[in-house]
Amino acid sequence: MKEKELKPKTGSEVAKGIMSGFLSHMISEDKKTCSGKKIYIAGKITGLPYDDVVKKFKDAQIKLEKLGFEVFNPIEISPFVEGKTWDEYMAELLPVVEKCHIIYMLDNWIDSRGAKDERQRAIEKKLVIVYQ
């Protein structure tokens, strides 16, 4: 029988495990822990098919709402409007990040200038950052 090769986890894999464990711990301890906690979803939007983006953000929203969070979905807060600039979207969304306790970074956040800016604002405001 062939031995299974074990690979060391990368830093991002460890971080994902820790953060997933963080959410699981919050829920298993007491669902009330999440109740009333405001969480903002951040991820790539620009350059992707709009329907795919809406679904990805909505799926995350549903998951987080089931855990008891008050979820702030940027797609619902500031829906697509023809002619609206990226700067206009960010001017609406960054203040929302500041009102939250937690920011939930979707797995594609690293490819998004806006999500990086939202993450930076979360760091500045000392929000908990959770990675998908």
Please state, rounded to an integer, the average pLDDT across all residues of the chain.
82
Task: Tell me if 104 is assigned to some domain.
Answer: yes
Q: Which domain holds residue 42?
A: 31-131
Task: Tell me if 49 is assigned to some domain.
Answer: yes
Task: Tell me if 75 is assigned to some domain.
Answer: yes
pLDDT tens-digit profile of 38-64? 999 999 999 999 999 999 999 999 999
Say if CB 12 and CB 90 are below 8 A apart.
Answer: no
Structural domain tally of the chain?
Answer: 1
Say if CB 40 and CB 64 are below 8 A apart.
Answer: no
Task: Tell me if 24 is assigned to some domain.
Answer: no
CA atoms within 13 A on the CB side of 80: 10
Residues facing 103 on adjacent strands:
40, 129
Instruction: Calculate what percentage of the chain has a pLDDT beyond 90.
Output: 69
Q: What CATH number is associated with residue 121?
A: 3.40.50.10400
Q: Give me the pLDDT at residue 79, please.
A: 87
Task: Tell me if 22 is assigned to some domain.
Answer: no
Q: Give me the pLDDT at residue 72, please.
A: 97
Q: Which of 65, 57, 61 is nearest to 112 (CA)?
A: 57
